[in-house]
Structures are given as structure tokens and as C-alpha cells.
A and B are shown apart, each in its own frame.
Chain A
Amino acid sequence: MSTALEQALDLCDRAVSLAPSRATEIGVVRQRAQGPLRVALAGRVKAGKSTLLNALVGERLAATDAGECTRIVTWFQDGSGYDVQALLSDGSRVAIPFRRVDGALQLQLDGLDADQVTRLEVTWPSARLRSITLIDTPGLASLDDRNSLRTREFLAMGEDRPADADAVIYLMRHLHRADAEFLGAFLDRSVSASSPVNAVAVLARADEIGACRLDAMTSAARIASRYQADPVLRSLCTHVTAMAGLLAETGLTLREDEANALRTLAQTPSAELDAMLLSVDAFCEPASSELTVEMRRALLERLGLYGLRLVVQELVAARAGTATELSRVLLAASGLDALRALIDGHFLPRAQTLKARSALAALRDVARSLAADDPAGARALDAEIERVEAAIPDFAELRTTHLVLSGAVILSAAETAEVELACTPGATDSTRLGIDEGSTAEVRRQAALLAVGRWRTRASDPLNDSATNEVCETMARTFEGIYAAAV
């Protein structure tokens, strides 16, 4: 049996013959489905989205600033050469001149009216962008309504149109009502389009949540796990991880001159050093160190007060010295590994399904636009999409996982564990059955048969609501599939 993505691509080919007038659009849908997974970084203004994006790429590509900064949705994608283009609302493209200053990418956007730009596309050869395209978005709840609007439009919230992103990394600094609202709305659309588990939350600028004390990251991790257990958040997304994007960004891009300056700083007599690290103003007090004030300001911007306190502590204790060692200290503290593990373990295995889902949603959009000039073609296309969607078990499993993990359907702990296992993307059938790896086909068949019986019985419980029934039916079908494969 072909995968969800293959079926979606097939559907694209058939769609062209059903709606030849829309061949170009369908071509774009097909191309996207074959490309990398598109993951958007979203959150309130100044949540640290651009900084985190840079950390994920390992290069300073997105502009960051203390004042409101990102105003245009920007795609960062892998490619063979370096190129930046603006896609304008009239469909045309213009090349954007750019240069690098101290390792940071700077775009010359002068004369470009943000309202006229649909998005920027930065093409950058990078191994990190090979499997995912990252999308930076303007902050939500911004004082400049137009910026928030751009993000909402991009994520197609409150519109009958598919989102351009397959998944979202949502940055928050504590769970604000606006955050829950956003996630709820994103989820609303996802579920109506019959799926997924496509959001993870990041407790961002985690070093500041613990007031930059040396135990700040531990404190933030504790808060993240509390959120992860919170039923409200759990119903909106399944994972929350704490992360200091700035530390990761700097850890990955630390320069030799910066490491030098940090070593000089650590030489300062301890009483003076303590006084310097008391506050950002004390740190920049001209008389307190031989480092130039400019250098100190730059260090503050790159590391933050927590990063400085941490690095100084490690340098003074002689646990780190070289730039490489300092980088390692920063990365270890940043929480980047945990986020990467989430992307690798949560998004990427589902990438094909998520992309197939996005493609189907996009085709549905094509059908809608077709309805005006070719109603019969539109109906035929719609029916075809419907048929394919119903036939793809991955969608049903994705939806089941979502219903169960979000708490919309409440099962026993054992049942929940069974669902999670059975719906693990890319796992072997033995793993999915929860039996020993390398079990014989006969053992697998038996286990699957038992499971089918169990879920069928569970499905016939008259007290079930329709969502529970749906989950039970899907599970029964999933185990039937496993049974069939073992024959």
C-alpha cells in the first residue's frame, strides 16, 4: 500500500486532468508536498522567535532586536546558492540585496512597503534546512495591528483557506490568554481539516523567566513541565519545552574575539566582577573593566545577563576556556537539544502525513476556487479528495492521536498508551503492538487479533460519544491492517 504522501501526489496528477485550468496551482501544491516540511515559528511580539530560528539554523539569518522587529513573514529554505527574494502581492518577485555584518545577515529592504510584500524567501545552503523549511513570523498581539494581521493571515486563522505551514513551534513566555487563543484557533482549523498534532510549545527566553539567576534554567524547566501537565495546554499542544534561544544562537556562532573578551572579563578581581554582574548598567560602567564599553554592550546583547553569569562562573572555575568549550557550555544550558529532539521525534516522523494533509487542504482550496467557473469539475475534484482522504489510514491515526492526547476523548491509561504506541509513525509492527521486537508473524497475528476484538468491543459501548467511537473504530482498523500485514 502506498503512503499518504504518495497518494496525495497521485491525487495531484489526477487533479490536473480534472481541472486543467488550475494546472499551475496544482503544480505548486505538488512541488511543496515533495519539498521539506514547513515549520512556522509563531508567538507574541518579542517572544524570541527570530533568535530561536537562528539557533535552529545555527546562523544569524533572521534579524533580531529589542524593539519590534520582524514585520514580514520570511521563509528560510535550503538551496544551492545564496539568494533573497520578495514575493509581492501582485505575484511578482524582486531580488533583495543582502550582506553579512559580523556573521549576521542584513537585508536591504529600503523602499519596500511591507504591505505590498506577501513574504520574503531566503535561500541559504544549510544542512539544517534540508528536511525543514523554517518560517519566521511577525509577533502576535503587537501594537501595530498590521503585523499581527500578517501572521494571522499567513497561518490562515479564521479563513477558509489552508495554512501555508505544516506545523508550528509556538513561543510563549508564560501561558498568556492570547497564547491559548492562538493555539486554540490554529488547532480549530487543523481539527476541522481532519487532523493533527502539529504544534509544540516553547517556553521562550527561559533564562529570563528565572530572573537570570544561575538556577534560572532549572526553574524554567520546572515551569515547562507544569505547563505540559496542564490540561488546558495539553488540549492545545502536546509538548512544552523550556529554551533560551539567545544562548543557543550565540553558542553556535560565538566568535574568537568574543571568547577572548570573555576570558579577559573573567580575570577581573572577584569583588569587582560580582559588582559588574549585578545589573546590566553596572556591567557597562566604564571604570570597572579594561574592556571597552562597546565590547561589553555587544557581549550583553549576545549572551544576556544569565549567559554572562554562567560563562564567567565556568571560566573562573576553569571548567571551560576555549571558544569551543564556551560554546558547549552555552548550548548545553540553552535547551536546544531538547527542542531538536522534539522536532526530530515529533514533527519529522509525521512529516509525510502532515505534508499530505497540507496538500489535500490546498487541493480543496483549488476546488473551491474552481466552483465559480467549472462547478462540475469542482464537484468531481472534491469527491476525489474526499475519497483519497478517507482511504488514508495515517490521517485517521493522526486524528486519533490528537483526540486522545488532547483529552477530547478520555480513555484509560492503558488504552491511551496503546493508542500512542500503535500510532507511532515509522515504528515496526511489533513495537506498535507492544510486543517483543522480532516476534514471529504468528505471534503478531495473534496479538493484533486480540487487539481488534478489544477495540471492537470497546466501540460498542452504548455510553460512547461519537469521538470515542471514532477512536475505537480507527484503532480496530489499524490493528486489522497489522494483522493483514502479518499474514
Chain B
Amino acid sequence: MTSLAEADAPFRPVADAVLAVAAVASELGRDDLAGRLRIAVARLTRPTTIVCVVGEFKQGKSSLVNAIVGESICPVDDDLATSALTLLRYGDERRVEVRRTVGQESLVESSSVEDLGDWVSEAGNPGNAKGVERVDVAVPNSLLAKGIAFVDTPGMGSLGAGHAAATLAFLPFADALVFVSDASAELSAPELEFLQRARELCPTVLFALTKTDLHASWRRVADLNAGHLSHADVELVPLPVSSQLRTLAVARSDETLNRSSGFPALYGELSGRVLRPAKQLAARRAVDEAQAGATQLETTLRSELSALTDPEAAAQTASQAAAVAARLEHLRGPGARWSVLVGDRVVDLTNDVTFVFRGRMRQITRDLETEIENLKTGKDWDELARSLQTQVAEAVTTAFTAIAAGAQSTREDVVDLLAEETLVLNAVEQTGLPFDVQSLWSGHSLDPQGSKAGRALGTTLSGLRGAQSGIIMFGMMARFLPAGVGALLMTNPVTLGLGVAFGGMQIRDAQSRKVAQRRQQARAHVRQFVDDVQFEVGNAMSEALRAVQRSIRDEFTDRVGELQRTYADASRQATEAATRGADDAARRTAEVTASLDAIAAARAPLAAALAGASA
């Protein structure tokens, strides 16, 4: 078992090696490249992994989050507590942002940790009547600084319904899930069902068996649960923890108490199964970027060196490099093929996703209308409302996963298209200058296996995790879903009194006019609900798609810009080289050679560091 601090150790050489390349880049005046490498290192030091804490209500989810970070942030209560999502992540200073919808308007308001209860708790915001979509809490906390963001969720299974469906919808965008169930009793049927479903959507699942300080038979319950899980083919081992003891241990700095809280084991799992894979991915990317950056630096220096050693060829080198730069200038513009491709693909994606989503919603409406015709009792209506919620949430998840996957494959196609450009560029230049453009894009690929494998990904979700887009998509989902859930809540049969009304009248006995009226009402509710959802989802999807398009364009425009600068520099240096006097040329040659040596030296440890981190 590794502690969180030890877990950092293998990644430190990678960070150092990449920073060394960044230092050389700065020295050579390429702050753009250096900046990018420093960002990659920051991502390695603090990957933004998202860990959702879920479970039935009152199992101790919020207490667990507080105990993990060692600060009391999320509201805890004996009575129902959490009513809205809280995203807790690292920030240099405390900042609380409440995102909510009032009427048709989306608001972002700032608040404070002290007032968090006004927004996310049943006491301050009963049934989430304030329409809170998510509260972002940033705190300068040393554990969060490791790169995990926790999402505290409302408990599932309350009458407020919808929560389970909503939580499941988030899972494809979470890096891990901590399922919380307390030691007072073994897992119930709905809990196990949820776990089985969750496993399909999120491969990294931890199981925290909480409140071990309270329940004398926690060991029995842990064994029983392990038995149920293995019987259901869910490979999961309950991690017994006590948030209460952990909190006391922190307050008293008591190591023995800390051990008996079970938290060291939980940290071990978080570190080994959540942080480590995220860091390995980030390390691979950082090293790829460092290699590519170093190649660009070398490109400029080599072309200058060849001009210095062979002034005859200098003019030709300069013009070739200038030609490449000009070509790249064209690639930067909105008329470039790849840019047009991005636009087309996003339009296609919009059409596809909208078409599928609309179709699915129509299907759901049709199915439900048939079922309403056969409705017997109020209980059946309950069942129906719940299946409506689940089906709609699934349709929404599918839509957003399709957007994320579409963004991914568009990106891969851009990489391929630019690879063709590379061939064109290669034809332009004959100088033997290194010209490994491909490594630039694939170095940034979302999928560790590279672009070709990435395309096969279309239907799988694995590529979405740990990706930069993860947190964006998560935000999109978070922004949308609770609004949908709010609408779902309104159609909750109990709240409407519809279920009770049905229940009270035994449909088969009652006068048929009344029954027909109730059915009419039920159909109207379903249709209204589906319309509301379509409106909400429609907006959220267009926003997501615009964000996708913008992010791909920005990314590649920046990259082409960097490359262009490399060649423009190369051309300028070559021209200058030709005009230098002999002494000057000799001095410059020594300088350039020294720089190339420095790059080689900075580059040398990259591979070994990465191998160490991946082991």
C-alpha cells in the first residue's frame, strides 16, 4: 500500500525532465513551447480526476468527503442533508460558485464555504427548490492538491426520485466512483442493483463501508457484503472506514486513531487506482510533448547550423523554411482543409445526435402512452414514472457520450488530415531537416494508443476519462441534468397526487369517465415532461457542440502557430547566418552546437523517466 505522498515519487523524474526541456526552450526564446510544457507538468502534478461519492441517503457520503479532505466542508446532518451536487476541488484560495437556473436564466453566483448549506442542503434548499445545478467549491487543501476532485451527491432512494438516474448519467464522465454503504446492515437489493449498473459505466469503483465505529458487527457485515458481491460477480472489496474516527484523528494528530479509522487503506486505493493511472497518462503526454517541443527547437537550430557550415546552401535553406512557414500560415486560416473538416463534422455530429435523441424521446413517449392505456393502479403509475426517468436519463447520457466520442473522432481525423499535409510539406523541403509533425498531434492525442486506435473508440467510453474534455463534459452534464431531474421531480406521481388518486379508486371498479380523464392527465404529463427535457437538452447540446468545435479549432490553430514560428525562425536564422563574418560564424556555430547539446542532454532522461513512471 502506498501513501499519497509516496505515490508522487515515480512521477517526479518525469516532471523534472520535462521542466528541463522547458527551461531550454525558454532560454532559446521559445516561451510558447515552454509554457505548454509547464502546463503539461502541472497536469501531471495535479491531474483533475473526478471521483463521485454515491450511495443511498444517510450512509455517510458527505461525512466521508469531509473526512477524506480533512476539513468540514459539505453539510452533514442526522436528517436528510445533501440536496444538490457539490464539486470539491483544489484552488489557491477558497472560492465557492453556485450555478443555478432561475426560470430560463442561468446564474453563476459566488458564495462561501460557510454558506454552502444554503445551497446544497435540504435544510437551506429543500428538494433543491433553488434550482442549483452544481456548486463548485475550490479550497487550498493539500489532499485536493494531489489532483482529485470529489463530487458529493444527494442520496439515492429518497422520495425525490430521479437521483439514481441522474447519478448513473454522470458516471461515464467520472474517473472513479466511491460507493458508500454503512455497516448497520448488509447491502440491499436496490444497492446491489445500482452497483452492478455502475460497474458497467465506470470501471473504477471503490466501496466504502462506513460508520465502523458505531456498529459492533461491522466485520460480519463486511464479510456478508463481500459474499453478496462475489455472488453477483462484482469484484469489489469493502473498505471499512470511520469518518468520525478519522476526523478525531486529524483534530488530535493521533496516528493510532488514524489507523483504526481505516482511511490509510482508502487513500491507498485512491492513490493506486485513481491517481496513478491518471498520472501515468499525464506523464506519457508530458513526455510526448517534451519530445515534440525538443524536435521543434532542434529544427530551427539545425537549419541555422547547416547555413553556418555551408553558406552556399544558406539561401536555399532559408527559402525552403520560409516556404514551409508560408504553407503553415495558410493552414492557420479558417479556409484550411482541416478547419473546414471540423466545421462539417460538428454539423454532422449535431444532426446525428439530435436525430437519435429526438427519435429516442419519441419512442419513449409512444411506449409510455401505450402503457398508460393499460395502467391498473397508482402503484403502476409510480413504476411508469420511474421508468420514464430512467429511460430519459439514459437517452441523455447516450447523447452526451456520443458528443464526446464524436469530438474525439473528429480530432483524430484532423490529425490524419494534417499528417497528409506533412507529406506535402515534406515534398516542399529537401533539406533533410527533421520534420516529424505527426508526433506533435499524436503527442496530444486523447488516446494513449494513438490516432488509429482512437478511431475504434467511437463506441467505447474509456478514451473519455482523464481526457481534458472530461471535466468539460462533466460540467455540461452537471449543468443540464439536475434541471432535467427537477422536471422529473415535478412529474413525480406522489407529488402530483396522481398515484394516490389512482390508488384510491381501483381503476377497474371506478366509473370509466374518471379513469379516462386520469389517463388523459397522465399522458399530458408525460408529453409535457418530454418536451421540457428536449428543450433543456437541446440547449445544453448546442452549447456542448459549440465548445467542442471551439476547443478543437483553438488547439490546432495554436499548434500550427507554434510550428509556423519554428520555421519562420529557421528561415530568419539561416538568412542571418549567411551574412555573418567568419569569427562571428564560428562563435555562433559553437553556441548553436552547445544549444543542440543542451537539448540532447535535456531529452536524454525523458524515456527512462517515463519507463519508471509507467512501471
- Check B506–A181 contact: CB distance below 8 A: no
Complex contact A300–B190 (CB within 8 A): no
Which of A11-19, A276-284, A472-480 is the interface stretch? A276-284
Q: How far is the CA of A284 from the CA of B161 in the complex (A)?
A: 41
B494 x A232 contact (CB < 8 A)? yes
Chain B residues in 8 Å Cβ range of A223: 78-79
Within the complex, which residue of B80, B186, B213 is in contact with A281, where a contact is CB–CB below 8 Å?
A: B213
Q: Is the CB of A174 within 8 A of B58?
A: yes
Stretch at the interface among A138-146, A320-328, A420-428, A432-440: A138-146
Whether B212 contacts A45 by the Cβ 8 Å rule is no
Q: Is B218 a contact partner of A191 (Cβ separation < 8 A)?
A: no
Q: Can you list, as one digit per residue, whether each of A123-153 has a CB less than 8 Å from chain B (1) or not (0)? A: 0000000000000000001110100100000
| A232, B493: Cα distance in complex, Å | 10
Q: Does A486 make an interface contact (CB < 8 A)?
A: no
Stretch of B38-46, B432-440, B496-504, B601-609 lying at the A interface:
B496-504
A264 to B129, CA, bound (A): 53
Supposing A223-B78, A279-B242, A281-B260 touch, asked if A300 and B189 sit within 8 A by C-beta, the answer is no
CB interface residues, B 368-383, toward A, < 8 Å: 377-379, 382
A282 to B300, CA, bound (A): 68
Q: Does A119 contact B (CB under 8 A)?
A: no
Smallest CB–CB gap between A305 and chain B, Å?
A: 6
27 contacts between A and B (CB under 8 A): A45-B185, A46-B186, A66-B185, A66-B221, A67-B221, A68-B224, A176-B157, A178-B188, A180-B494, A184-B382, A184-B500, A184-B503, A187-B503, A205-B184, A208-B214, A208-B215, A209-B58, A210-B78, A219-B78, A223-B78, A223-B79, A235-B500, A278-B248, A280-B212, A280-B215, A282-B260, A305-B216
Highest count of chain A CB atoms <10 Å: which of B78, B190, B248, B495: B78
Question: B187 at the A/B interface (Cβ < 8 Å)?
Answer: yes
B378-A184 in contact (CB<8A): yes
Taking CB atoms, residues of chain A closer than 8 Å to B503 are: 184, 187-188, 191
Q: How far is the CA of A141 from the CA of B193 in the complex (A)?
A: 11
A window 187-208: CB within 8 A of B: 187-188, 191-192, 205, 208
Say if the beta carbon of B398 comes within 8 Å of chain A. no
> Which of B79, B192, B242 is the most central at the interface, judged by chain A CB atoms within 10 Å of its CB?
B79
| Contact residues, B48-71 vs A (CB, 8 A) | 56-58
Q: Are B506 and A192 in contact (CB under 8 A)?
A: yes
How far, in whole Å, are A66 and B382 apart by their CA atoms in the complex? 32
Residues of B within 8 A of A (CB): 56-58, 78-80, 157-159, 161, 184-190, 192, 211-218, 220-221, 224, 228, 242, 244-245, 248, 257, 260, 377-379, 382, 494-495, 499-501, 503-504, 506, 509
Given A232-B159, A279-B242, A408-B504, answer yes or no on A45-B218 (Cβ-Cβ < 8 Å): no
Which A372-409 residues have a C-beta within 8 angstroms of B? 406, 408
A141 to B184, CA, bound (A): 15
Given A177-B158, A184-B379, A281-B213; 11 other pairs, CB 8 A cutoff: A66-B216, A67-B220, A142-B189, A143-B188, A143-B228, A184-B503, A188-B378, A208-B214, A278-B245, A280-B213, A281-B212
Complex Cα gap A434–B390 (Å): 51
Do A220 and B213 touch (CB < 8 A)? no
Q: Does A371 contact B (CB under 8 A)?
A: no
The B-contacting residues of A in range 296-331, CB under 8 angstroms, are: 297, 300-301, 304-305
**9 nearest interchain CB pairs?**
A66-B217, A279-B213, A46-B185, A300-B216, A192-B506, A280-B216, A188-B503, A219-B78, A141-B188
CA of A141 to CA of B500, assembled, Å: 22
Residues of chain A within 8 A (CB-CB) of B80 are 174
User: Which residue of B has the minimal Cβ distance to A187?
Assistant: B503
Which of A46, A188, A235, A304 is the most central at the interface, judged by chain B CB atoms within 10 Å of its CB? A188
Contacts of B211 in A (CB 8 A): 211
Would you call A95 an interface residue if the criterion is a C-beta within 8 Å of the partner chain's C-beta atoms? no
Report the count of interface residues on A (CB-CB < 8 A).
54
Q: In the bound complex, do residue B214 and residue A280 qualify as a contact, i.e. CB atoms below 8 Å apart?
A: yes
Specify which chain A residues have a CB less than 8 angstroms from the CB of B56 in the assembled complex. 176
Q: Is the CB of B220 within 8 A of A66?
A: yes
For A282, list chain B residues within 8 Å (CB): 260
**Contact status B189-A145, CB under 8 Å:** yes
Within 8 Å CB of A185, what residues of B? 379
Residues of A within 8 A of B500 (CB): 184, 235, 406, 408
Closest Cβ neighbor of B164 among chain A residues: A177
B254 CB to closest chain A CB (Å) equals 10
Residue ID in chain A nearest B514 by CB atoms: A466
Minimum C-beta distance from B465 to chain A (A) = 30
Say whether A273 faces chain B, with CB atoms less than 8 Å apart.
Answer: no
The verdict on A220 contacting B78 (CB below 8 Å), with A143-B187, A176-B56, A281-B212 known, is yes
How long is the Cα–Cα vector from A173 to B248 in the complex, in angstroms? Answer: 26
Q: Is the CB of B189 within 8 A of A141?
A: yes
Cβ 8 A contact of B186, one of A143, A174, A181: A143
Query: Which one of A68, A158, A181, A284 has the greatest number of beta carbons of chain B within 10 Å?
Result: A181
Q: List the A side residues contacting B228 at CB < 8 Å.
A: 143
- Complex Cα distance, B499 from A280, in Å, reads 44
Contact A305 B214 (CB under 8 A): yes
Which single member of A68, A178, A232 contacts B190 (CB below 8 Å)?
A178
What's the minimum C-beta distance from B605 to chain A, rounded to whole angstroms? 48
Contact mask for chain A residues 42-67; partner B; CB cutoff 8 A; 1 contact, 0 none: 00111000000000000000000011
Query: What residues make up the interface of A, taking CB atoms closer than 8 Å to B?
Result: 44-46, 66-68, 141-143, 145, 148, 158, 173-178, 180-181, 184-185, 187-188, 191-192, 205, 208-212, 216, 219-220, 222-223, 226, 232, 235, 278-282, 284, 297, 300-301, 304-305, 406, 408, 467
Could you tell me the distance in whole angstroms from the C-beta of B378 to the nearest C-beta in chain A? 6
Distance in Å: Cβ of A440 to nearest Cβ of chain B: 41
**Minimal beta-carbon separation of A89 from chain B (angstroms):** 24
**Contact (Cβ within 8 A) B159 A467:** no
Chain B residues with CB below 8 A from A210, complex form: 78
Cross-chain contact B504 with A191 (CB below 8 angstroms): yes
B253 to chain A, nearest CB (A): 16
CA distance A144 to B439 in the complex (A): 56
- Asked whether, in the complex, the Cβ of A226 is within 8 Å of the Cβ of B79, the reply is yes
- The residues of B that contact A174 with a CB separation of less than 8 Å are 57-58, 80, 158
Q: List chain A residues, Cβ under 8 A from B248.
A: 278
Q: Is the CB of A45 within 8 A of B214?
A: no
Chain B residues, CB < 8 A from A279: 212-214, 242, 244-245, 260
Docked CA distance A301–B320 (Å): 85
Question: What chain A residues lie within 8 Å of B215 (beta carbons)?
Answer: 66, 208, 280
Measured between beta carbons, the chain A residues less than 8 angstroms from B378 are 184, 188
With a cutoff of 8 Å between Cβ atoms, the chain B residues found around residue A216 in the complex are 78
Q: How far, in Å, is A274 (CB) from chain B's closest CB?
A: 11
Which residues on A sit within 8 Å (CB–CB) of B509? 192
Does the CB pair A188–B379 fall under 8 Å? yes
Using A178-B157, A281-B260 as known contacts, say yes or no to A301 and B78 having CB atoms under 8 A apart: no
CA gap between A216 and B213 in the complex, in Å: 15
Cα separation A90 to B589 with both chains bound (whole Å): 103
- Chain B residues whose CB sits within 8 angstroms of the CB of A220 once the complex forms: 78
Interchain CB contact (< 8 A) of A467 among B224, B377, B504? B504
Nearest neighbor of A66 in chain B, beta-carbon distance? B217
Residue numbers in B under 8 Å from A176 (CB-CB):
56-57, 157-158
Query: Taking the nearest CB of chain A, how far is it from the CB of B374, in angstroms?
Result: 16
Q: Would you call A211 and B78 a contact (CB within 8 A)?
A: yes
Q: With the chains together, A467 CA to B216 CA distance in Å?
A: 51
Judge whether A278 and B382 touch: CB under 8 Å.
no
In Å, the complex CA distance between A282 and B184 comes to: 18
Closest beta carbon of chain B to A233's beta carbon, Å: 9
Chain B residues near A211: list those with CB within 8 A: 78, 211, 214, 244
Q: Complex formed: what's the CA distance from A408 to B161 in Å?
A: 22
Docked CA distance A158–B383 (Å): 14
Pick from A175, A219, A467: contact of B158, CB below 8 A: A175
By a CB distance below 8 angstroms, the chain A residues around B382 are 181, 184
Chain A residue nearest to B213 in the complex (CB): A279
**Cβ contacts under 8 Å, A45 to chain B:** 185-186, 188
Q: Which of A68, A180, A281 has the most CB of B within 10 A?
A: A281
